[in-house]
Structure 1
Amino acid sequence: IMESEVIGIATGDFGRPPHFVFREFTFPAALTDDEHERIADVSLSCLRALGLGWGAANIELRWTKHGPVVIEVNPRLSGTPEPQLIQAAYGVDLITEHIKLVIGEEWNVRKSQSHTAAARILVPDRDGTLDWIDGDSRAAAVPGVAEVKLYVEPNTPIVRKGDERDWIGHVIAVSPSLARTEAALQHAVDLVGWSITPALRE
């Protein structure tokens, strides 16, 4: 959200409970008009109730049998990878436009295109020491892939926390359709690999 304009709504998928680790994001979310309207109304109502009418905001919700339920309200831009997803899908550079707003310049969040973008978060399955991680160049060459980022280097200690600190990278793909985006994303993710030597237990 920028000011009172809902720029878009994304979906996020999690790994196994009890942890709360995002594994994949899709933008825009596949919603009915009614679902989109209800989420937008609840989100804007939150901002009004909290007096957060200026600048950027992102709101996390959970869709339940009762409709959208608010988890948290953040008076700031979303973190990675959501700004990249919005730019890939809609051609809107949220970071640049927010800077313009802050310094008093004219800003513009109008869409220049309408695609579907998705991000897969790379998460290790064990603790230990990262021996190697590669395949990012091959993944980036897959048609439809917009970005591949690795956050760690060999010899990095891996100690999972059960939250976003477990992320070791991400892959973003975009295309005019959800099916093509998902296919490109999966192909690229399959090309990225790593090896972790398990930590010794005393």
Structure 2
Amino acid sequence: MEYINLTNEQLEKFSGHFRNDDRNYGRKIYVQNDTLRYFRSEGNESSLAPVSPKKFKMLGVNDDVIIKFSKSNDQRQMIVLINDAEPIIYDEFTPPSNSLSSLEEFTGEYFSPELSTTYKAIIKDNKLTFTHYRSEDFPVSVVKSDMFREGYYTFKFERNDKQQITGFRISSERVNNLWFKKIIN
């Protein structure tokens, strides 16, 4: 496959945050060192090489991944094609603020009756971080309001009618909506 050259100004037009609600995936596209980057999570990103003005090939992955950018009803979209499978469509969105004060409301202890275990959410290095006595601490990244992600795990926080956090549901490829109830602020 042949690549073309695009200027930083041309590449910047594709920068943004994109979300696929069906799969709970959020992606960040940005330019670094004259290269468009596809960011999944900390330490998990790929370079994108332009093959046409709006089409890119993902580099450094085992699959054949093509990324296309388009606009539908004034909504920017990113279309991901993996090995000629059905396209995965991401809509552009504006991520919520992740200021320290907004993260504080998510801190506390959360208990899963199904697993009989408790995780603690704290602020560490300016990030919401989960701790458990049997595992290493892991920070989560904000995806959208009341939703965070770490690797393949999505954390959806739930609120009562007074807008207080009551707990969260965690989902991944193997787990769907596992409930953790907030027990201590």
Higher percent of residues as strand: 2
Do the structures match in fold with TM over 0.5?
Answer: no
Larger relative contact order, structure 1 or 2 (CA cutoff 8 Å, min sep 6): 1
The TM-score bracket by the shorter chain reads under 0.3
Which structure: greater helix fraction?
1
If the length of structure 2 is used for normalisation, what is the TM-score?
Answer: 0.25
